[in-house]
Amino acid sequence: MQGSKLYVGNIIYSATSDDLKELFAQYGEVKQVNLMEGRGYGFVEMSSPEEAMKARDALNGSDFKGRKLKVDEARQPKDREKKGYRKY
C-alpha cells in the first residue's frame, strides 16, 4: 500500500466523523476524517501507509452499525479534461 488515505464506503448515514475516527483509531493515529454526510462514504487518513493497511485489512467487510464497510486505498482524483470535460 503506497498511501495513507483510505476510502470508506457503505457508511450508515447517521454516522459522524467522530464515529469513524474512533473506529479507525484502533489501528493507529488518525490524521484526518472527511465524511461526505448523507452520501454514505468518506475518507480517513492514517499517519502511515502501514497503519492504513492494517486498518483496511481489519475493517474491510466488517460490520459498522449494521452495515458492511467497504474500505480500500483512496485513488487520486482523475483529470477531468481527460474524461472529455472542457476547461472554461
Summarize the confidence of residues 52-61 as an average pLDDT.
98
Q: Taking Cα atoms as reference points, which of 27, 83, 81 lies closest to residue 52? A: 27
Is it the case that residue 79 has pLDDT exceeding 70? Answer: no
Q: What pLDDT does 3 receive? A: 86
Contact between 70 and 10 under an 8 Å Cβ cutoff? The reply is: yes
Domains (ranges, CATH) in the chain? 5-68 (3.30.70.330)
Contact between 74 and 5 under an 8 Å Cβ cutoff? The reply is: yes
- For 17-46, the pLDDT digits (tens) are 999 999 999 999 999 999 998 899 999 999
